Structure 1
């Protein structure tokens, strides 16, 4: 994608932010400062909100590969985090306040995780298993386990993850 095409995408993101911000201003009957936006996030995260900085960082590759759904879902998702912080202070990241903004202001289902194909952004992974499934951990998490600096557990069965024998080194 050339610079001109990416500039168009950035303009679409700004238009979506402006529209969502306007909806929030009407709903809360107050003004909000437009957040700064950068495209620095790598890996499988679609976006991250930096609350104190009033900043949103987006994954350029996932934006380019999933333009409409990214703009319609990820941009409001991250803006909702900033709005929650500005209106309610420090609360649960995906708590009732965030869900309320997603539903009542933006009219969106409050999904915590995106469903984008991450094959082009995920990097090397390692297979770990528990009693119920296989987990694909990043190189960073794998290295932490190998250096005895971290342990990871399955959210479903609560068992400690163990390196699968299928990994080839």
Structure 2
């Protein structure tokens, strides 16, 4: 885990403590997040997870905005309880008031979609509709799960064709 990320988390907590004049328990911080999300706050576990790839590619903005964004979720939860909206007034108050940052809900980092394999399934409709299945759904079929066409109600059958998209 990069030391700069830990320093930024700590700095965000110190800012919140000075603003609200109270202590907050420090979260566990993990660098094990993949996919399109830059960060995730697990409220009840007091856990922050960050995406190492997006951190590396967007370091300056990530440290400033994304870390504060996720810390603000934990602070809002601890200040106002579990019934608040994830990006509601309370969270926005912390982003604007404590961190003086825009309360952006989503990042704009390039997530570069990875190539995926699709498994083509067919039904018995006269128009012979194709159904591209993910690898996960294809493996469920191999384990006995059945999927049906909504029009002809026939069981979808693997055509043997795979496509990389």
Aligned position for 2:85? 92
Secondary structure class of the residue paired with 2:96: helix
Question: Match of 1:49, SS?
Answer: strand
Q: CA RMSD in A?
A: 2.6
The answer to whether 1:58 aligns with 2:50 is yes
Instruction: Give CA-to-partner distance per residue, 1:101-145, whole Å, 9 cap, x none.
Output: 0000000000001011111xx33469xxxxxxxxxxxx58998xx
TM-score by length of 1: 0.68
Q: What is the CA-CA distance between 1:28 and the residue it aligns to?
A: 1.0
Q: Counterpart of 2:61 in 1: which secondary structure?
A: helix
- Structure 2: distance between partners of 1:101 and 1:89: 14
Flag the 1:92–1:115 CA change in 2: closer, same or farther, 3 A: same
| 1:80 counterpart SS class | helix
Partner of 1:12: 4
Q: Distance in 2 between matches of 1:78 and 1:14?
A: 13
1:114 aligns with 2:107: yes
1:43–1:123: 8 Å Cα contact kept in structure 2?
Answer: no
Quick check: 1:83 aligned with 2:75? yes
**4+ runs deviating over 3 angstroms:** 139-143
User: How many residues are aligned here?
Assistant: 128
The residue aligned with 1:21 is: 13
Larger radius of gyration: 2
Structure 1 unaligned spans of 5+: 1-6, 127-138, 149-166
- Alpha-carbon separation, structure 2, partners of 1:68 and 1:92: 28
Shift of 1:65: 0.9
Distance 1:140 1:54 in 2: 33
TM-score by length of 2: 0.69
In the superposition, relative to structure 1, how do residues 95 and 39 fare at CA in structure 2: closer, same or farther (>3 Å)? Answer: same
Of 117, 120, 123 in structure 1, the residue corresponding to residue 114 of structure 2 is: 123
CA distance in 2 between partners of 1:82 and 1:110 (Å): 15
Where structure 2 has 5 or more consecutive residues not aligned to the other structure, the ranges are: 118-133, 139-146, 149-162
